[in-house]
Amino acid sequence: MAQGLEVALTDLQSSRNNVRHHTEEITVDHLLVRRGQAFNLTLYFRNRGFQPGLDNIIFVVETEDAVYLDSEPQRQEYVMNDYGFIYQGSKNWIRPCPWNYGQFEEKIIDICLKLLDKSLHFQTDPATDCALRGSPVYVSRVVCAMINSNDDNGVLNGNWSENYTDGANPAEWTGSVAILKQWYATGCQPVRYGQCWVFAAVMCTVMRCLGIPTRVITNFDSGHDTDGNLIIDEYYDNTGRILGNKKKDTIWNFHVWNECWMARKDLPPGYGGWQVLDATPQEMSNGVYCCGPASVRAIKEGEVDLNYDTPFVFSMVNADCMSWLVQGGKEQKLHQDTSSVGNFISTKSIQSDERDDITENYKYEEGSLQERQVFLKALQKLKAGSFHSSQRGAELQPSRPTPLSRDSPRSLHTPSLRPSDVVQVSLKFKLLDPPNMGQDICFVLLALNVSSQFKDLKVNLSAQSLLHDGSPLSPFWQDTAFITLSPKEAKTYPCKISYSQYSQYLSTDKLIRISALGEEKSSPEKILVNKIITLSYPSITINVLGAAVVNQPLSIQVIFSNPLSEQVEDCVLTVEGSGLFKKQQKVLLGVLKPQHRASIILETVPFKSGQRQIQANMRSNKFKDIKGYRNVYVDFAL
């Protein structure tokens, strides 16, 4: 009888296999292969050679791939691309923020595996946790909870207070690599600080590194419904100023989450594909701060009883908004808007720097019968389930609009509202010039009398800064207009908010809400109009001086300026780019004089070929996030 084979050495052919599996940018020293694809290895035997027909070698493998995307361009974008854009701003002014995901950078794979081992699941029951790591549903929930630090030593501390003295302002980050490496280097202590786009960007890095197709999604006018009734309540005083919400319902100017591609064998057929995962710690899910995976198709169809956290995600994209006037201790309903929440849902296009609008993936067209039917179906499921019921049951049914003129960004594509039978006056704000940081904001209030009678209006106007999560700050500007309108007459009332009036009250988000609450002498009805203004900065300009070639010196020019008419101090320029810089570059610029424009030259040696991106940010004591980027194609060395 032939002697059994004894393995002396196994050659995993790491370099060759990793190239074929598109993991060579992570490492060529260790075997790192992707699911569902063949790889080669060589076995060397100690006692004798392998004899075909006599010897049998059995390999036990699992070939199922629950995250397989059959489109090569999609795989390149959602697994392989190490940079991208996160959309911010407002629906009227959508701004791409460049981001370095860097999932193939040195040590990132080790950090991602450490992240899994630091989870509460692994700490509690490591055997079960490891056994479940083949499930993308399980892994995505674990990662989602570990990106925030609310339950554990997760990667990021969230902070929406505007006080970041003991950490980094979330607006300053330009990539995930510095965040993940800081977390790892400090013994897995949470990094300070993050907000929604930072949580989503870091999760994108981790999931792409683990081979799960992932993209970053921005939802403009995103609902946060705390009581599960699919109604977001907003409260105003008699000046039109939005009040802090006693129920904590809010409409975020924008909110950012992830979609991950996976099969959902735990759901009925047809609900696999893109799944929402939201690492921003808003509400608890099964006792921990995570959200999802929630099937995008289930959200569109109102199937809010399917796992996980589908009701909360549904409310983010399709809740109704109720406006209330608070006066004399009483609340007066102004309007119920059925189309203000969930607009211009955006992600980066495949292999392009353009923006894709994917709103139709989440809901049927606003104003359509299908959309209302789905809303009511979701509402009935919530009522029938173990969710919170409505505080104002009768008002959950879609109602005809009462007197309101909305010029908010949330009504850009809303069908025109019926003027009140009593007031028959519409109000609208119009900007006269682009709202640039450091300059006065000039706008007019347009008043139109659509009736055949004279109208005497008193209009209270106000302006206040907003945080991107919808939280209002104190008003810094108020005015009162008295407008008399002849039948069918239109008039404009000019307004100006000077830089000196708003500069000290502005938040990092650079959002200003202007509001007007009008009333006509002969009617108790009120007319509310508001508009959100996003102030813009001039971007950083980046020029690549010469051809970019692997292992060859490259000069990069960065041009920046102080856009303000006052001196700024503590200026710091941050530059990074996977495959171009080994680590994030920080340049101390010191003081910049008013309107001063300057440039610096950075030297680097690219170490990876292909399409790359440089990301830059400049901060000072007056601003935190002047951004810029430049795409660079790096050739192989000759």
Give catalytic residue positions: 196, 255, 278
Give the SS3 label for residue 113. Answer: helix
Dihedral of CA atoms 23, 27, 33, 35 in degrees, nearest 10, equals -50
CB 629 within 8 A of CB 614: yes
Is 318 marked as a binding-site residue?
yes
238 is in an annotated binding site: no
Is the separation of the CB atoms in 518 and 527 below 8 Å? yes
CA distances from 424 to 429, 453, 486, 520, 529 (A): 17, 9, 12, 10, 14
List the 554-561 sheet strands across, edge first: 541-545, 554-561, 597-604
Packed helices 196-209 and 108-117: angle between N→C axes, nearest 10 degrees: 100
Tokens describing residue 171? 């607006």
Which single residue is written with the structure tokens 């981001």?
99
Q: Which of 511, 513, 568 is nearest to 535 (CA)?
A: 511
Among 164, 121, 160, residue whose Cα is nearest residue 144: 121
Give the DSSP letter of residue 522.
T
Which amino acid would we find at residue 132? Answer: L
Burial class from Cβ neighbours inside 10 Å (0-12, 13-18, 19+) for residue 618 reads: buried
**142 contacts 155 by C-beta, under 8 angstroms:** no
Question: Which of 241, 530, 527, 313 is CA-nearest to residue 411?
Answer: 530
* DSSP one-letter code for 79: I
For residue 321, give the H/E element and its range. strand 320-327
Task: Judge whether 310 and 318 are in contact, CB under 8 Å.
Answer: no
The answer to whether 86 and 216 are in contact (CB under 8 A) is: yes
Cα distance between residue 316 and residue 223, in whole Å: 4
Q: Binding site for Ca(2+): which residues?
A: 318, 320, 366, 371
